[in-house]
A and B are shown apart, each in its own frame.
Chain A
Amino acid sequence: MNIEVAEEREEGALVLLPVGRLDSANARAFESIVMDHIGNDERKLIFDFGRLSFISSSGMRVLLIAAKKLGANEGTIALCNMQDHIEEVFRVSGFDQIIPIRDSRQAALEVS
């Protein structure tokens, strides 16, 4: 199953905005989109979750893999604009300790 991911470029970063649900049904499609960008030498990825309503561990797994790959290549990853219930899932997973989460896109762009 596909996922709509809007893309914007801002201050040298690629901003990805997944739309709707990121779940076990479409996590593979999301993984393929994200890994293509990393494979194409994107070094700064911002995930703007302003249009994301749901995420499960299948989707979080993709973010963890992306963070590992970018971290190993001196790249940067940051997440922003999460709804409260999604942020809580990241917190109880301990992801907030390893992937920068910011309130606004501007703050995410400032992560270095």
Chain B
Amino acid sequence: MPDLHVSLPAKLTEVRNLSTAVEEFGDANQLPLPTVFVINLALDELITNAVTHGRFEVPDPTIDIHLKADRDIVTLTMEDNGSPFDPTQRSAADVDTTSSLEDRAVGGLGLHLVRTFAHDMSYQFVDGRNRLTVHHHFKSESA
């Protein structure tokens, strides 16, 4: 059950290389394809969120991703050296999924998607770094 550990510069274009690594992690751990999809979705949303909100006022903006599959749970841990931000404090009420086309807000959807597909999310600010942990449960294909 190999883990995946990647340290990348905080840039949107990094999402693409990471997705290839996540697919390899999925293959190595025999994860179902929908699980690989939601992990890649969560990573795209979380990295986009971190990068586009200008939280990095450090010379070396860095995001560390760790993925671990254990029985039927994938644990995604994302750490970064940006300013403190707790995405779990954003409530479901912050996203608009119901108003008409004319009134529908553009944006704010990313964290809603992460939360919807995750089993749980937790946040800590540790040693000057943001650490977000997200669990995804899945049904093993071999079971």
Question: Which residue of chain B has its CB nearest to the CB of A58?
Answer: B48
B142 within 8 A of A: no
Complex contact B12–A24 (CB within 8 A)? yes
Residues in A52-84 with C-beta less than 8 Å from chain B:
54, 56-58, 60-61, 64-65, 67-68, 71-72
Whether B53 is near chain A, meaning CB under 8 Å from some CB there, is: no
Chain B 15-32, CB-CB to A under 8 Å as 1, else 0, gives 110010000000000000
Q: Which of A25, A72, A97, A98 contacts B12 (CB 8 A)?
A: A25
> Is A89 on the interface with B (CB-CB < 8 A)?
yes
Please give, as numbers and ranges, the residues of chain B lying within 8 Å of A68 by CB-CB distance: 101-102, 104, 106
* CA of A89 to CA of B47, assembled, Å: 18
Q: How many residues of B contact A (CB 8 A)?
A: 30
> Which residues of B are found within 8 Å of A72, using beta-carbon distances?
102
Find out whether the CB atom of A98 lies under 8 angstroms from the CB atom of B37.
no
Q: Which residues of A contact B41 (CB under 8 A)?
A: 54, 56, 89
Q: Is B113 an interface residue, CB under 8 A from the partner?
A: yes
Q: How many A-B residue pairs have CB under 8 A?
A: 74
Q: CB within 8 Å of A: which residues of B?
A: 12-13, 15-16, 19, 33-34, 37-38, 40-41, 44-45, 47-48, 96-98, 100-102, 104, 106-107, 109-110, 112-113, 116-117
Q: List 23 A-B contacts (CB under 8 A).
A: A1-B13, A21-B19, A23-B19, A25-B13, A54-B40, A56-B44, A56-B45, A56-B113, A57-B48, A61-B109, A64-B106, A65-B106, A85-B34, A85-B38, A92-B97, A92-B112, A92-B116, A93-B109, A93-B112, A94-B96, A97-B98, A98-B101, A99-B101
